[in-house]
Amino acid sequence: ARGIQRTAVRQAHRKHEPTFHDKYGTTVLLAGAAMCSAVWGYVLTSLNVEWGFSPVGRITPREWKE
């Protein structure tokens, strides 16, 4: 048990060296989100898609047969 405690104390007092994720993690995440948004924005605006999904006004009801 004492050996575990010594190891834990030694590791706790070590200087923390910043890793790649510590240095650039947020920047890479934001750049990826911006790139994804830009690509989807381009795709969605360049396609000639009619975005009205509502059938109101496009579908005419048929006469009821009894």
CATH number, domain of 16, equals 4.10.51
DSSP assignment, residue 66? -
- Is residue 54 in a domain? no
- Is residue 4 in a domain? yes
Name the band, by pLDDT with cuts 50, 70 and 90, for residue 15: low
What's the whole-number mean pLDDT along residues 9-38?
A: 84
DSSP assignment, residue 56? T
Evaluate if residue 50 carries a pLDDT over 80: no
What's the rounded Cα separation, in Å, for the pair 38 and 34? 6
Task: Look at residue 39 in the predicted model and tell me its pLDDT.
Answer: 94
Return the ∠ at Cα 42 (arms to 27 and 33), rounded to 5°.
Answer: 20
> How many Cβ atoms sit within 10 Å of the Cβ of residue 12?
7
Evaluate if residue 27 carries a pLDDT over 90: yes
Mean of the per-residue pLDDT values of the chain: 79
- Is residue 26 in a domain? yes
